[in-house]
Amino acid sequence: MTDSASKGLAGVVAGQTALSTVGKEGAGLTYCGYSIDDLAEQATFEEVAYLLLHGELPTEVELSAMQTRLRGQRGLPVPLRTTLEQLPASAHPMDVLRTGCSTLGCLEPETSFDQQYEITERLLASFPSMLTYWYHFAHNGNRIETETEDSGIAGHFLHLLHQQAPTEQQVKAMDASLILYAEHEFNASTFVARITASTLSDIYSAITGGIGTLRGPLHGGANEAAMELIERFDSADVAEAGIMQALARKDKIMGFGHRVYRDNDPRSNIIQQWAKKLSEETGDSVLYPVSERIE
């Protein structure tokens, strides 16, 4: 028996997953057999959510029915709104999401395992509402209406956040981002959620635990750190000089990607294309050039 521990569970088989393959041939990523490149280009987030929940892509009828159900579940119960209004503007959005999920679990509890799909759709539909309701109240004192006629979650979230209808390209970019984050095999937050579920706890507890784990700077928070780095510089030349100095000091530089890929993270190439399109649409002359130079 060895006393050594495997850091990060590296090399440890903790379970099996049939949903995705990560790092296949050095740079591959598939969801239920479908390439992430194809899904990000041709599918909507709702289609991918259905794929991950049911193991197959929806028919037009099934997709339409799901979209209708999701649109009908965007509203927030009054006690949840009241709870969100107590959270300060300084709260981290992931903390708000974690609190909102836990609160909804008290207000609309799971009473049977058969409710798993129903609750999953409820959370998918209401998470954008929770975040944006808190944001507008905490920062401006506005109690916004959380229901819109946007067909998808991406458009709904952007509409609520900016309080105006997003452009088609903005919706497509957000859709692609949601798809890229939808599944990544046995990552830390998935591991925590699965452990919680294995105790026969309710789905709200599993998702709340997953959100708390995703918040960490070594998991989902790494992308936030990357954005903070980009925003430090006001030009590509200044960014290059700053990064070279950081490398000389052997500082850790956060980025979008995962070390499991031997070649490159396929999601990075996809999101970079959308970042460039949005940069051109908005006339951005700083953020994209800076991020490109840092890369």
What tens digit of pLDDT does each residue of 139-182 get?
999 999 999 999 999 999 999 999 999 999 999 999 999 999 89
Residues 64 and 210 in one domain: yes
Residues 43 and 175 in one domain: yes
Q: Quote the pLDDT of residue 29.
A: 86
Local structure of 140: helix, strand or coil? helix
Domain edge (last residue) among 145, 180, 214: 214
Q: Which domain holds residue 161?
A: 37-214
Residue 262 carries which DSSP code? Answer: S
pLDDT digits (tens, 9 = 90+) for 242-282: 999 988 998 887 765 555 545 567 888 898 899 999 999 99
Cβ contact 32:52 at 8 Å: yes
Question: Would you say residue 110 lies in a domain?
Answer: yes
Question: Would you say residue 24 lies in a domain?
Answer: no
* Angstrom distance (rounded) from CA 159 to CA 148: 8
Beta bridge partners of 35: 30
Q: Minimal CA–CA distance to 279: which of 263, 292, 261?
A: 292
Amino acid residing at 202: D
Question: Would you say residue 239 lies in a domain?
Answer: yes
Q: Quote the pLDDT of residue 21.
A: 75
Number of domains in the chain: 2
- Contacts for 263 with CB less than 8 Å, ≥ 6 apart: 26, 27
- Contacts for 256 with CB less than 8 Å, ≥ 6 apart: 223, 226, 265, 267, 268, 271
Q: Quote the pLDDT of residue 237.
A: 94
Mean pLDDT score of the chain: 89
**How large is the average pLDDT for residues 39-56?**
96
CATH code of the domain containing 270: 1.10.230.10
Where does the pLDDT of residue 95 fall: very low under 50, low under 70, confident under 90, or very high at 90 and above?
Answer: very high
Beta bridge partners of 252: none
* Angstrom distance (rounded) from CA 230 to CA 138: 26
* Angstrom distance (rounded) from CA 125 to CA 55: 20
Token readout for 203 is 């789905």
Least confident of 113-127, 202-216, 223-237: 223-237
Question: Would you say residue 113 lies in a domain?
Answer: yes
Q: Quote the pLDDT of residue 262.
A: 53
Residues 156 and 226 in one domain: no
Residues 186 and 232 in one domain: no
Burial of residue 132, with CB atoms counted within 10 A of its CB: 0-12 exposed, 13-18 middle, 19 or more buried: buried
Residues 52 and 185 in one domain: yes
- Contacts for 4 with CB less than 8 Å, ≥ 6 apart: none
Residues 119 and 190 in one domain: yes
Token readout for 227 is 């954005």
Beta bridge partners of 20: 31
* Angstrom distance (rounded) from CA 203 to CA 200: 9
Run of H or E residues at 2: none
